[in-house]
Structure 1
Amino acid sequence: MVRGRYIDATYCVLIAILVVATTVSSDDITPIPADDSKVSNWFQTNVKPWRSRKGTLDPALEAAEAKSRIIIVSKDGKGEFKTVTDAINSVPLNNKQRVIIKIGPGVYTEKIQIERTKHFITFLGDPKATPTLAFGGTAHEYGTLASASVAIEPNYFMAVNIIFKNTAPGPNSKKPGAQAVALRVSGDKAAFYNCKMLGFQDTLCDDRGHHFYKNCYIEGTVDFIFGRGRSLYLESHINVVNNKGLTFITAQAKENKSENWGYSFVQCKITG
């Protein structure tokens, strides 16, 4: 059933980004505890479905969530569309309604970009048959930012149970411009739950805006989380692949103390 626990999860994740991105100003919103053992309880206490937080959230968000639209994408033709791009094209510009694009299993080889005013879009997959959004663009062909397999420009985007992948081969010293982005997030107040971002160099362009990642898996070789985002990574797994020596996971673009962006990793696992 579409309106089941997976869609309920999307509402919880979106509320999470609003909680962690907002200055603490009420008794029911408390900072993340320094004690790791208390983080899970903090999340359960503070992150509630949007319906229980009515009157405390962004009015535009509340209006958008009041009446959602569901679009089904399926490679076998049983949905409204066979491609994610066609589903996105059906969403109007200046969108003010939550649109849940439920993506069926399989690999969707598409270069996907959501236009800046198509706000309130959700990509929703099945955790037991997670869809993969893949493309093989590189910096040599498109430029680093434009190489993204999936580029998110609007605000209030969500993804639940989705794999974002750049299929380009790993960079080497003999092939310049091989950086390849799997996911670029340039809109504000975006949230990701149980997603994977797969690539090599420059896998995730956490470009700008407030972003929240929970229970995600992100892998790459070097500088594979980069940008000017102001983001929280909670209980996620960061994995370095093909590492033959010292490497850098993040390349945050912050240059001085006056800039208010940065990445926070809370209760995350780092392997390599």
Structure 2
Amino acid sequence: MSKFQPFFYITILLLLLNAGQTLCHTKGIRLRSSTGKQSKINMTRTQVSEQQFMQWVKFVGSLKHSVFRTAKNKLFPSYTLTVNKNPAAGDFTKIQDAIDSLPFINLVRVVIKVHAGVYTEKVNIPPLKSFITIEGAGADKTIVQWGDTAQTPGPRGQPLGTFGSATFAVNSPYFIAKNITFKNTTPVPPPGAVGKQAVAFRISADTATFLGCRFLGAQDTLYDHLGRHYYKDCYIEGSVDFIFGNALSLFEGCHVHAIATLTGALTAQGRGSILEDTGFSFVNCKVTGSGALYLGRAWGPFSRVVFAYTSMDNIIIPKGWYNWGDPNREMTVFYGQYKCTGPGSNFAGRVSWSRELTDEEAKPFISLGFIDGSEWIKL
């Protein structure tokens, strides 16, 4: 079973339960048997209700997908909400308040325009609020920030963990973010520090698009957790494992900047099985920054990362990749480069278990087809 299918079945179950309650309480429809004219009227109403409900179920069923299903998106917004720090100039002063105002199950495209300003708040989009667009006034003008780490105490006193540390967390499909900055304000931790993972953004759902966004943090900046994702012209900054997770994601035209004080790592891709269709691909990107940087660490035993047509500064450690202290992973990971440039791209010093890809080997990784993008990406 795909990792996205349980979410789909839970959604349908909730809808079935809600619809069952609605049908049972609809005026004029009786659950006990009757005879004569009233029975015919009730049967007609029941049939109409059932037909309408089945149309609804079929529609909702078409919206939840895995990496093995066809995805569809909504091109035009149904309505727009505004967030402004000035109460007189917008619908809301906080992003979370705008999200909370949406229906428990949201099935129409809603654009939330966030005006310029620094919004110091922790934001969470729950699983059933799909089709949300967050649009800033410019990545340098609209900033959402918070400062939790993995060791920050949660509501019950227990540490939040890496998953819960995110400044902005998305758990629903068909999310879009444009021209906005997501920031975790935690400073760069010293080498070997424990519990300092500090996520700026976590995406834990299928079919998400990020256009002209900035992700600022240190350790574990961008938690690219689950689903198919497209990052276009984004800026991503961090120190250790600052793009990590087990998603299937394409980074196109992005600027990746390291702020490591000593040694850092750009990616930690978590593919755990040869059967998982996940991995990161960086196309026409550039890698800059400070410190000595691994292109990736094998967080998952079948970790998969490709860099193509990417410019790399001389901060890249010649070996390029680290096996996470487990030599067995060297036989199962897939790490590749294709026509990269810059002093850090020299393949001569790379570990023997990485690859310099041929045209044929690189082809699946360098287009939107890598993430089935033509099905769901609407720019």
When normalised by structure 2's length, the TM-score is: 0.54
How many pairs are equivalent? Answer: 215
CA distance in 2 between counterparts of 1:92 and 1:98 reads 12
| Alignment-derived partner of residue 172 in structure 2 | 154
Say yes or no: does 1:261 pair with 2:261: no
CA distance in 2 between counterparts of 1:208 and 1:67 reads 25
**1:174-213 map, 5 Å:** 175-213=193-231
Q: Is the 8 A contact 2:140 2:181 kept in 1?
A: no
Q: Deviations over 1:54-108 (max 9, x none)?
A: xx972xx34xx45511001000111010000100001112111101000011110
CA distance in 2 between counterparts of 1:254 and 1:153 reads 20
CA distance in 1 between counterparts of 2:170 and 2:67 reads 21
Identity, in percent, stands at 44
The letter of the residue matching 1:264 is S
Q: Which has the larger radius of gyration?
A: 2
| Alignment-derived partner of residue 117 in structure 2 | 106
The letter of the residue matching 2:238 is G
Q: Is the 8 A contact 2:173 2:207 kept in 1?
A: yes
Say yes or no: does 1:70 pair with 2:88: no
| Alignment-derived partner of residue 93 in structure 1 | 104
CA shift for structure 1 position 178: 0.9
CA distance in 2 between counterparts of 1:111 and 1:205 reads 15
Secondary structure of residue in 2 paired with 1:75: coil
CA distance in 1 between counterparts of 2:270 and 2:246 reads 5
Q: Is the 8 A contact 1:172 1:178 kept in 2?
A: no
| Alignment-derived partner of residue 242 in structure 1 | 260
**1:100-139 map, 5 Å:** 100-127=111-138, 130-139=141-150
**Unaligned 5+ runs, structure 2:** 1-65, 153-159, 290-379
**Unaligned 5+ runs, structure 1:** 1-20, 24-55
| Alignment-derived partner of residue 229 in structure 1 | 247
Higher relative contact order (CA 8 A, sep 6+): 1
CA shift for structure 1 position 173: 4.5
Q: CA RMSD in A?
A: 1.9
Q: Deviations over 1:121-150 (max 9, x none)?
A: 000112286310100010001110100000
Q: Is the 8 A contact 2:139 2:180 kept in 1?
A: no
Secondary structure of residue in 2 paired with 1:232: strand
In structure 2, which of residues 175, 182, 189 is the aligned counterpart of residue 171 of structure 1?
Answer: 189
When normalised by structure 1's length, the TM-score is: 0.75
CA shift for structure 1 position 267: 0.4
